[in-house]
Structure 1
């Protein structure tokens, strides 16, 4: 664990540390994650606007662009848990269960999964 990181680090603090570690500014971060400088600036100044914060896609992009910061670390700083990887075995088990459902049940299962995923998307 990075000695500069505190246990309760939020996204603004993580971005400051990221800027120091990589020698980048907010505009460069925004370009690296295909976002606007205003969006990154809002994160830095803890302004969430009407949304619930950064999307899972943007958090993943941040971790990918700056690999010294893990996906789990970035998500935690944003106050969320990182979505897990789906193993091929788990995918197969889930698909076998879905194939046993009626079309109506499949639609309901899909809607439920979409709702759960939306809670992680921000």
Structure 2
């Protein structure tokens, strides 16, 4: 029953880890497809780098939350506790969205501090 949210969490975790590795290796330059893309982070190459680095801690949080909730939902599935599973599934997505908003705010702040 909770396999779809588990798969979603694992996909989000994988994307987060790939982005973390790419930012740390400076493998992705300013682009319109991958990374934290806002008006401020796309303003210049320096703003892009600063914004992506500032978002990494929140991407780590998203990965940890995603993996933790996937494991929790597996435990819920094995114990047939459907109410707890629904609450966990919803709570995980809310936490991920909060981390995503915080990542964008941090990236924008760092990009604005660098300037155009």
What's the TM-score once normalised by structure 2's chain length? 0.35
What's the TM-score once normalised by structure 1's chain length? 0.34
Larger radius of gyration: 1
Write 1 or 2 for the structure with the bigger share of helix.
2
Report 1 or 2 for greater relative contact order, CA contacts < 8 Å, sequence distance ≥ 6.
2
